[in-house]
Amino acid sequence: MDKSGEAYWKATLGLLTKILTVWFLVSFGAGILFADLLNNIHLGGYPLGFWFAQQGSMYIFVALIFIYGKKMGEIDRKFDVHED
């Protein structure tokens, strides 16, 4: 694999690592590990830890899909492997 191919995969894996870290922190962290702490804050009349476990994580997941698509498109254009 040439240098640009290695740089492309390094950028792709870096983005994927960031996205998966946010996914983990939101789903496991906010929904389970920090739920008791977050339950001291209320959002829409519900404890924040409960809200993340039931609804908030889904909103974040959908946002992550769009962020991944946008950032991956930028990486593809940077390394000239886009499909325009």
Residue range 3-8: mean pLDDT, rounded: 89
Assessment of whether the complete model's pTM goes beyond 0.95:
no
pLDDT tens-digit profile of 9-56? 999 999 999 999 999 998 888 888 888 998 999 988 889 888 888 888
Residue 74 carries which side chain, given as an amino acid letter?
E
Tokens for 46, please give them. 């519900």
Q: How many CA atoms lie within 13 A of 12 on its CB side?
A: 11
Q: What share of the chain is helix, strand, coil (3-state, %, to 5)?
A: 80, 5, 15
Q: Are 23 and 64 in contact (CB under 8 A)?
A: yes
Q: Are 19 and 64 in contact (CB under 8 A)?
A: yes
Domain ranges of the chain: 20-78
